[in-house]
Amino acid sequence: MKSFLNDWGLILAVFLPLAGALVMMLVPKESENVHRQLALVTSLAAAVVGVLIMVNFNYDRAGKLQFVVDHPWINLINSRFILGIDGLSIPLFALTLLIVPLVLIYSWDHIPSPGNPKAFLILILILETGMLGSFVAQDLILFFVFFEVVLLPMYFMIGVWGGPDRQYASIKFFLYTLFGSALMIVSFLSLYFLAKNPVTGELLRTFDMRALTASGGAGLARTAAILIFGGMFIGFGIKVPMFPFHTWLPDAHTQAPTQGSVILAAVLLKLGTYGFVRIAIPMVPVGARVWAPVIGILAVVGIIYGALGCLAQTDMKRLIAFSSVAHMGFVMLGIATLTDFGINAAVFGMVAHGLITGMLFFVAGSMKERYHTLEIKRLGGLLVQAPKMGWILGFCTMASLGLPGLAGFWGEFPAILSAYNPAPGLSVPLFRTLMVISALGTVLAAGYLLWLYQRTAFGTPKEEFAKDPHIHDVTKFEWIAWLPIMILIVVLGVAPGLIFDVTNPAVMLLARGAQG
């Protein structure tokens, strides 16, 4: 089994969803149930392969790449088909394999208007291949291909199945991400032409992420390193999204169908933060040290700006979207410290945010389906009309504001604490100031989340919805889709070592390289 997984494990996990999408293309559009079953079976099959990989993963050597697949691909530019997984990518790989089947279960009786389950579910499976591939690719061109594969399905999900302003939101999402990708590929090409072997001084001329990480930016002039990191910073920063590149996110989230919002919040935003820790920092450490204070400042501006933006929102989904800007600010603050403590906190924050905010978007989508609005002032009395959903919303808001004992706490508190001792060479007074300001963001988070919960769940239902027969409690498919996420939020809150112990060996190597 181990040898089979070594050769085929990652290939099967990444490409099974794409194979399922191709099979679905052959099935007539009218066979809606067949499409639902095919999509779910395919994503579960990928999840089973993923579980086998995680069971056979050597956690004592989590800092080393395992299950490596290395084949020739584009010989002309020395780009190879390389996949591999280590402690840094395994939590995000597992998160993707969990979220997509749950989204497909939720979609069983929640296909958004204008319908067409065939096309909708095919797009979700293509998205899954792109996301999984991004987390295990070990060649810059291959990573770029997977990174871009997720762009078109999400564009169509928002543009076809989204809200009234879906076309504006989808085009804005597409253009922002494409602009960032253009700068990112220029940075990748610059590394290809300029990176040298630190021992021999010869040009590497490779896209192999293992070799480029080992070289640690050797041969790059200081100015070149700063510019290359700057291109990656904008490319990945748009995807996170960091302030001031965040303006596409509230529109995309608000207009996207529920499934699109969940995938966007739970996994897609993590491609940006993962790009920083997997590619930008280890490959261009000199640029990282120069840019770190800028990243830290923008992260904290994002935390405060996102929180204040939440307080100004009248739409529930838009409020949750702005909260993502604030939460991803904590992740970026941890990354900006360039320490193993900060980056570990950031990876945990990615997983915690994915679970909690994904869950909040699930609940918001179900409320929209029942009330046909998410305008906060029109909502109220959820605990009266749908008490189980009201309690679930309460649980998610508590997790999101960082209540100790739930996953959100370990995504925020260590990230704030890491700013107390940034990497050598970074300004201690600056980062300690950022620590104090970011801590205020947690107070604002408690404010906007409790305010949201009070206005939507407490009190009595508004007159227009008081006797509405469509407002019912949690359905069977919603329970199946939501329960695993809620259990994980509690488990990771009580036992954060489940992630920290896996990521730490890989992160320590990364931080050592970043600190020179």
The tens digit of pLDDT for each residue in 247-275 reads 999 999 999 999 999 999 999 999 999 99
The answer to whether position 228 is within a domain reads: yes
Residue 304 in tokens: 């405060």
Interatomic CA distance for residues 245 and 234, integer angstroms? 8
pLDDT at 1: 75
Asked whether residue 318 is assigned to any structural domain, the reply reads: yes
pLDDT of residue 243: 86
Query: Is residue 515 one of the residues assigned to a domain?
Result: no
Q: For the chain, what is the total number of helices (H) and then of strands (E)?
A: 23, 2
What's residue 516's pLDDT? 65
Is residue 56 a part of any domain in this protein?
yes
pLDDT tens figures, 100-128? 999 999 988 878 878 788 899 999 999 99
Closest CA to 132 of 220, 17, 272, 222: 17
* Residue type for position 405: G
Residue 249 lies in a domain: yes
Number of domains, the chain:
1
Q: Which residues of the chain are modeled with pLDDT < 50?
A: none
pTM assigned to the model: 0.94
Cis before 293 (ω within 30): no
Reading the block at residue 269, the tokens are 């935003």
Cβ pair 383, 458 in contact under 8 A: yes
Q: Which domain holds residue 298?
A: 2-510
At CA 429, angle to CA 423 and CA 431, rounded to 5?
55
Q: Round to whole Å and give the CA distance between 352 and 340.
A: 18
Residue 516 inside a domain? The answer is no
| Size of the chain in residues | 516
Query: Does residue 239 sit within a domain?
Result: yes
Tokens at 334, concatenated: 């941890």
Residue 283 within any structural domain of the chain: yes
Helix (H) or strand (E) holding 166: helix 166-194
